[in-house]
Amino acid sequence: MATDENETHTHIRRAVPNVSVPDEAAMRTNRDFYETLGFREAMNMGWIMTMVSPSDPTAQIQFFTHEATGPVVPDISVEVDDVDGVYEALRAAGAEIVHDLRDEEWGVRRFFVRDPQGKVVNVLTHVRAD
């Protein structure tokens, strides 16, 4: 999926590793560990927790006990500025869409796609409240 240098590229806002944990107790243990490294809890919905660097908010780690609306816990999340455009480009390139493009109640528009090595990527953008 090489791109021509004249093509428009989407802006990547952040890429975040996703770590599966067995339960909320393991999530708390990871929170305590990563707080010692300097991260802070930015979001915790019970099934997903995001740890963020106070000095660089794009440096993040997410912990999942499960995936609330998707079929699997994705391996990585990539936030882009044009999720619809990326979705269409990947579909046109023949990529396997694992979870169709949709708006989630917690304020993101996202889809899951499988990369060439079989890893599941959660591609998302935050939806603005109008």
Amino acid 130: pLDDT: 56
**Tokens 């409240």, residue located:** 129
What pLDDT digit, counting tens, does each position of 49-100 carry?
999 999 999 999 999 999 999 999 999 999 999 999 999 999 999 999 999 9
**Whether CATH 3.10.180.10 fits 70-130:** yes
What pLDDT digit, counting tens, does each position of 1-33 carry?
555 544 557 899 999 999 999 999 999 999 999
For 102-124, letters b (16+ CB in 10 Å) and e give eeeeeebbbbbbbeeeeebbbbb
CA distance 27 to 51: 11
Same fold, 11-66 and 70-130: no
Residue ranges per domain, the chain?
A: 11-66, 70-130
**Whether CATH 3.30.720.120 fits 11-66:** yes
Amino acid 9: pLDDT: 72
Helix (H) or strand (E) holding 29: helix 24-36
The pair of structure tokens assigned to 92 is 């046109």
Given the DSSP bridges, would you call strands 76-80 and 120-126 parallel, antiparallel or unpaired?
Answer: parallel
> What are the residues whose beta carbons fall under 8 Å from the beta carbon of 63, sequence distance 6 or more?
18, 19, 20, 21, 26, 27, 30, 31, 48, 49, 51
